[in-house]
Amino acid sequence: MKTQSLLKVGAGTALLLGLASAYYYGQTPRPYQFTEVRFCPVTANKRTIKYYDNPEESQSALNNKYCRFKYRLLTEVWKSRQFNDVVSLPESAFITKELAPSDNPSLWLLVAPALAWMGYYCWAAKDEIDNDESFKRLEDFKTTIKRQGLVTRTKRDLQSHESERIKDKHKKDIDRRADNQLVESGYISLDELRIQYQRQAELEDLQFHNTKKQFAVADSVADKTVAENFRDKAKADQERSKIEGKTKDVSADSNSNQSVDQQRATELIQALKAHEDGWLWKIIDNLTPLWLIGRQGSGKTYTSAAIAIVRKHCLGIPIYYLIDRHATGDNSKAWRYLETQNIAESELEIGTALDGLCEHWLLRIKGKNDHEQSTTITPEQVLIDEYTNLKSLIGEPAEKFYKLHLTDTRKAKVYVTGITHNDTNSSYPEKTQAMRESGTILIQKFSANGKTPLPRVKIVRGLLDDNGEELKDAERTLPSWFNPEDIYNHFKGKPISFDA
């Protein structure tokens, strides 16, 4: 508002000065000597008469009648008239002033339009600022309306997702009240009731650990199936080549029939499985949401990009969405190898993308439950960077994304890789701690000087060993070649030397 006021004052001042300059420039020039003459006769009434009370009033009346008028004459004309008058009036009856010749300077010809242009520019700048503010107010209003709609829809979605949990809670409350009445009535002792609760808790813990083991077994079976499929395909291609009459040796025949990309993928998978009991491959080939934490310069973005490229080339999982406020800026060196389908970078784009992904997952889940469409759903990847900042900047869509990614991504076959600065409760939406600790994989990256990433990695939680036990705060390392550039080049004609 202060800027608009200054521009408005500047426009008015410049316009007035321009008009004044133009007026001054338009005055008639005086190239000759002029004389300004006023006729001021002296009264002859030296005494009081009936018309005036005193001589001063008589003189004042003459001045009002004659002396207040000015006449400009050429000096030569004035002198000529004085010389030719028959009866000359006394010089005391006239007040004369000599006016020297003068010309209008040409400077005013430039000053007038310059000041007028300055006034127009100030007013145009003020109008532009007013238009920008009006547009911003309109956009803010549209954003507010959209967020209100998102809040309403989010509340409805969360209510539907938590309805089962509320029913279970009510059931437990009813059972607890019934048990209390049994104790009060003496049908069962308090110690026996505690023993029942303890057994029930042990049973729930056992079911939880068994479920995790089942997932680990399923992942292991899937890895074995993929390896067997590669082996069977290679054998089938070799037999077909022999039938067609090819005379190449076995090694050449295998290399020719098996695609180069498939060979590179097999080599990379074997190298990952051979590195420290294959912990990194278990994380890559896992639908559980993966989150990376660490200080600045620890290489979180590069590691996330490397994981995404391995999933793309080795598991055939494309990158559906990249959500990063610096996707085409500071982080472009890491993300440029991904060939992602969609990118959200501005705050408006990120809010729309987060809300759209939640609906996208729901549609995929519905398609998966439909027997006719279950075979058409292919896995996909979603990458999100600096979630802690997005939670405060975007608000409700970011919190909704995090809550639903804990439950919907496995059903929708979506691999989520997220990056955040720390693992405190304030970094995530409220009331998600329990699901976060049991439903995500968290690894920590390190840097010694805030610039150079270290190969050291800590598995904070979420990863299971071969016995189904969860690894917590387990120290591991990353291979020296595990970066997006080397992995990308591995599939582009520059294979990695895993033996080096």
Give the amino acid at 375.
T
The set of residues, in sequence order, having a beta carbon less than 8 Å from that of 221 and lying 6+ positions away, is none
Q: Is 325 helix (H, G, I), strand (E, B) or coil?
A: coil
Q: What is the DSSP string of 266-305?
A: HHHHHHHHHSGGGHHHHHHT--S-EEEE--TTS-HHHHHH
Give the amino acid at 80.
S
Query: Could you tell me if 413 and 378 are in contact, meaning their C-beta atoms sit under 8 angstroms apart?
Result: yes
Q: Is 327 helix (H, G, I), strand (E, B) or coil?
A: coil
Q: Classify residue 57: in a domain, yes or no.
A: yes
Residue 22 pLDDT: 66
Residue 102 pLDDT: 58
Mark which of 198, 230, 252 sits at the end of a domain: 252
pLDDT of 470 higher than 90: no
Band (pLDDT 50/70/90 cuts) for residue 88 is low
Residue 271 pLDDT: 93
347 and 417 assigned to the same domain? yes
295 and 215 assigned to the same domain? no
Q: Classify residue 156: in a domain, yes or no.
A: no
Mark which of 99, 116, 135 sits at the end of a domain: 99
Q: Classify residue 184: in a domain, yes or no.
A: no
Mean pLDDT computed over every residue of the chain:
80
pLDDT digits (tens, 9 = 90+) for 329-370: 888 888 999 989 999 998 889 999 999 999 999 888 887 555
Spatial CA neighbour of 266 closest among 254, 283, 249: 254
pLDDT of 246 higher than 60: no
pLDDT of 153 higher than 80: no
Q: Which residue has the higher pLDDT, 376 or 302?
A: 302
300 and 390 assigned to the same domain? yes
Band (pLDDT 50/70/90 cuts) for residue 281 is very high
Q: What is the DSSP string of 227-256?
A: HHHHHHHHHHHHHHHHHTT----HHHHHHH
Residue 254 pLDDT: 47
Q: At what angle do helices 347-369 and 396-405 cross, to 10 degrees?
A: 30
The set of residues, in sequence order, having a beta carbon less than 8 Å from that of 269 and lying 6+ positions away, is 281, 314
33 and 52 assigned to the same domain? yes
Q: Classify residue 153: in a domain, yes or no.
A: no
Q: What's the average model confidence in pLDDT over 389-405? A: 88
Spell out the SS3 assignment of 335-362. HCCCCCCEEECCHHHHHHHHHHHHHHHH
pLDDT of 313 higher than 50: yes
Q: What angle do CA 133, 143, 153 make, to 5 degrees?
A: 170
343 and 232 assigned to the same domain? no
Residue 86 pLDDT: 58
Query: Could you tell me if 331 and 301 are in contact, meaning their C-beta atoms sit under 8 angstroms apart?
Result: yes
Mark which of 38, 68, 99 sits at the end of a domain: 99
Residue with tokens 């784009």: 349
Measured in whole angstroms, the distance separating CA 472 from the mean position of its chain's CA atoms is 34
Q: What is the DSSP string of 102-114?
A: B---THHHHHHHH
Band (pLDDT 50/70/90 cuts) for residue 17 is confident
pLDDT digits (tens, 9 = 90+) for 98-128: 766 655 555 556 677 777 778 877 888 888 8
Query: Could you tell me if 413 and 377 are in contact, meaning their C-beta atoms sit under 8 angstroms apart?
Result: yes
Residue 368 pLDDT: 58
How would you class 63 by CB atoms within 10 Å of its CB: exposed for 0-12, middle for 13-18, buried for 19 or more? middle
Band (pLDDT 50/70/90 cuts) for residue 312 is very high
Q: Which residue has the higher pLDDT, 13 or 307?
A: 307
233 and 300 assigned to the same domain? no
What CA–CA distance (Å, rounded) separates 454 from 445?
7
Question: What residues make up the domain containing 223?
Answer: 189-252
Q: Name the DSSP class of 27.
A: S
pLDDT digits (tens, 9 = 90+) for 399-432: 999 999 998 898 899 999 999 888 888 888 888 8
239 and 315 assigned to the same domain? no
What CA–CA distance (Å, rounded) separates 439 from 459?
14
288 and 362 assigned to the same domain? yes
> How many structural domains are present in the chain?
3
pLDDT of 25 higher than 60: no
404 and 361 assigned to the same domain? yes
What is the CATH classification number for the domain harbouring 440? 3.40.50.300
| 302 φ/ψ angles, rounded to the nearest 5 degrees | -65, -40
Percent of the residues in the chain that have a pLDDT greater than 90, as a whole number? 26
Band (pLDDT 50/70/90 cuts) for residue 314 is very high
Q: Classify residue 169: in a domain, yes or no.
A: no
Spell 355-394 as b/e; 16+ CB within 10 A means b: bebbebbeebbeebeeeeeeeeeebbbbbbbbbbebbeeb
pLDDT of 309 higher than 90: yes
Q: Classify residue 436: in a domain, yes or no.
A: yes
Q: Classify residue 469: in a domain, yes or no.
A: yes
276 and 400 assigned to the same domain? yes
242 and 347 assigned to the same domain? no
pLDDT digits (tens, 9 = 90+) for 287-303: 999 999 998 889 999 99
Q: What's the average model confidence in pLDDT over 161-172? A: 71
Residue with tokens 């005086």: 30
Q: What's the average model confidence in pLDDT over 161-180? A: 72
Q: What's the average model confidence in pLDDT over 10-15? A: 79
pLDDT digits (tens, 9 = 90+) for 27-57: 555 666 778 888 888 877 765 444 545 778 8
Q: Classify residue 53: in a domain, yes or no.
A: yes
pTM of model > 0.75: no
244 and 265 assigned to the same domain? no
Q: Which residue has the higher pLDDT, 142 or 92?
A: 142
Residue with tokens 């019934």: 178
